[in-house]
Amino acid sequence: MPGWGASERSPVGRSIHPMNGRIFLSIAGSVLALATRHPASAQTPVPDQPDTRVSGQAAGLVSERIYNAAKPRLLQVRSVLASADRQSSIGSAFMVSADGLAITNYHVVSQFALEPETYRLEYTAADGRKGLLQLLAVDVADDLAVVKVDRPAPEFFDFDPAALAGVLPKGQRLYAMGNPLDLGFTIVDGTNNGLVERSYQQRIHFSGAINPGMSGGPAVTEDGRIVGINVAKQLGSDLVSFLVPAQFAAALLKRAAEAPVPTPASFQAEVGRQLYAWQDGMYHAIAEAGFRDVDSGPYRAPEASAPWFTCWARTNENEVPRPRATDNTTGCNTSTALYVANDLTTGLVLMSHAHLKSVDLNPFQFATFASTTHPAVGIGLFHRKWQAAQECHEDFVQAEPVGEHPPVRVVWCARPYRKFDGLYDVLVQAMTQDRTGEALVSRMNLQAISYDNALGLTRRFLDGIRWKP
């Protein structure tokens, strides 16, 4: 799941690849955050899925019972552009306490959290009642938020104890609710398929038809208890959807209930703090998991051992016309994609190694080939709104001990985040300088990383580029 893109233009159709579109997007599709924007265009038809599941009368009765019980506990959440008094994005939420606390996704309330002077948060209940929402807490890493409605809630959801303990049986029938595409409150049933594998972020794989607008809605068991929160679906797939496990919501709820009510203006800094803490955790985990060696021609290159990296390879050997230098590239990237705002997804880590070898190029042509086919480029879109100007440093570097490492030319670029202190998008590229017709071009992209973590990983990365003994 390389990207959560709540695309402005087509909420269901468009995927935004954070990898600059130029590399091996062998991972199918992309994940779509489920807040919908511009509901008018949300009418983009979603192909009908033939329902192959056994949906007997009993199942129908269950979902009818669940929905009737849940209806007064459901909310539609709208981000309203204050100056125009019109909604700019919609999602769902559900009540979890008698005093009016409700849970939704962070990405449903992100516009208000980051720009409270421009947006306000409103809710519409199933009975048509409307009111203002107060934002109490956000959890960017797990895409959750706690909001409070302006009236008490006599009916609310309880968390499922098995879900809180993290022992949900695979195959269990779950029911997801929300307001898809602003069409009205809906209940869909599906299957729990356990936690997504090879993912740094814990998500439940839910096989059910979740659609934009259902973000922040609850997914419950047959007895109506919360097991997860609708968060995303995989583009280019059938019924592959994702839930945030309930225990994160319970933890955030506890934090929100205990802490004093924050001011709306304080959330931007809070988002920055959470991003900083999140990257610290993830990059330390990557460093702790360590690097393993992969052979790449006469070189040995470092590959992250952390289990949530997905690796791929490609070659240019079969291209037409026949390439005059071979390019065998392997790479690994995390599927971490942190939704910060509708035009900012971050947190991706990518490492790649290209072994280039001349077939009939002279040394000059080979150097041009290497620099043209493997330029030092960053990943993700550059938004001036979010990022300040990038600066690069280049140098020829010899790692110690000299006999083990080839000399490399290093290009190191960093681009700071404008609104979040201490975070940078960093690019490290190292090209070996020991041969004329052969080279290893190693690249590492680190999104939303602290400078110190970036320097630490740079050292580990350069230390890992060695000659094969």
Partner 1 sequence: MIWVEILSRQRDVLTRHHIAGDSLTIGRGYGNDVMVDDPHVAANHLRIGRNAEGALVAEDQGSVNGLYLEGVAKRLGRVVINGDRLIRIGQTLLRIRDDAYLVPAERPLISRRPRWPLLVLLTLAILAIELVGAWRGDFREFKPATYIQPVLAVIGIVGIWVTVWTLLSRIIVRAARFETHLLIGLVAMLTVSVANEFADFGAFALSWPGLVEARFAIGFVVMGAAALAHMRAIGPGRLRLKLAGAAALPALMIGYHAVIDADQQRTLDPPSYVHLLFPPAFRASPLNTEDGLLKDLGEMRLRIDQARLKDKS
Residues near partner 1, by CB under 8 A:
321-322, 324-325, 361, 363-372, 375-376, 378, 382, 384, 388-400, 407, 409-416, 418, 424, 431, 433-436, 451, 455, 458-459, 462-463
Cis peptide before 375 (omega within 30 of 0): no
What Å distances lie between residue 132 and 77, 230, 267, 404, CA to CA? 10, 22, 18, 64
The residues with which 415 forms a beta bridge, in sequence order, are: 425
Instruction: Report the alpha-carbon distance of residue 233 to residue 217 in Å, rounded.
Output: 13
Instruction: Report the alpha-carbon distance of residue 17 to residue 29 in Å, rounded.
Output: 9
Rounded least distance, CB 296 to partner 1, Å:
18
User: Of 261 and 451, which CB lies nearer to partner 1 in the complex structure?
Assistant: 451
Rounded least distance, CB 323 to partner 1, Å:
9
User: Of 233 and 419, which CB lies nearer to partner 1 in the complex structure?
Assistant: 419
User: Of 60 and 451, which CB lies nearer to partner 1 in the complex structure?
Assistant: 451
Select from 165, 71, 82 the least CA-distant residue to 121.
Answer: 82
Rounded least distance, CB 464 to partner 1, Å:
12
Rounded least distance, CB 401 to partner 1, Å:
11
The single residue listed with the structure tokens 């559900």 is 94
User: Of 84 and 389, which CB lies nearer to partner 1 in the complex structure?
Assistant: 389
User: Of 339 and 412, which CB lies nearer to partner 1 in the complex structure?
Assistant: 412
Q: Which amino acid is at 46?
A: V
Rounded least distance, CB 9 to partner 1, Å:
21
User: Of 35 and 376, which CB lies nearer to partner 1 in the complex structure?
Assistant: 376
| Token pair in block for residue 260 | 């004093």
Rounded least distance, CB 414 to partner 1, Å:
6
Q: Mapping DSSP to helix (H, G, I), strand (E, B) and coil, where does residue 104 land?
A: strand
Rounded least distance, CB 322 to partner 1, Å:
8
Rounded least distance, CB 287 to partner 1, Å:
15
User: Of 105 and 387, which CB lies nearer to partner 1 in the complex structure?
Assistant: 387
User: Of 197 and 395, which CB lies nearer to partner 1 in the complex structure?
Assistant: 395
The residues with which 312 forms a beta bridge, in sequence order, are: 331
The single residue listed with the structure tokens 């107060």 is 134
Instruction: Report the alpha-carbon distance of residue 105 to residue 118 in Å, rounded.
Output: 19
Q: Could you tell me where the beta strands, DSSP code E, fall in 221-361?
A: 226-234, 240-245, 291-296, 299-304, 309-315, 325-334, 338-341, 344-346, 349-358
User: Please, are residues 214 and 179 in contact by the beta-carbon 8 Å criterion?
Assistant: yes
Backbone angles phi, psi at 113, to 5 degrees: -65, -40
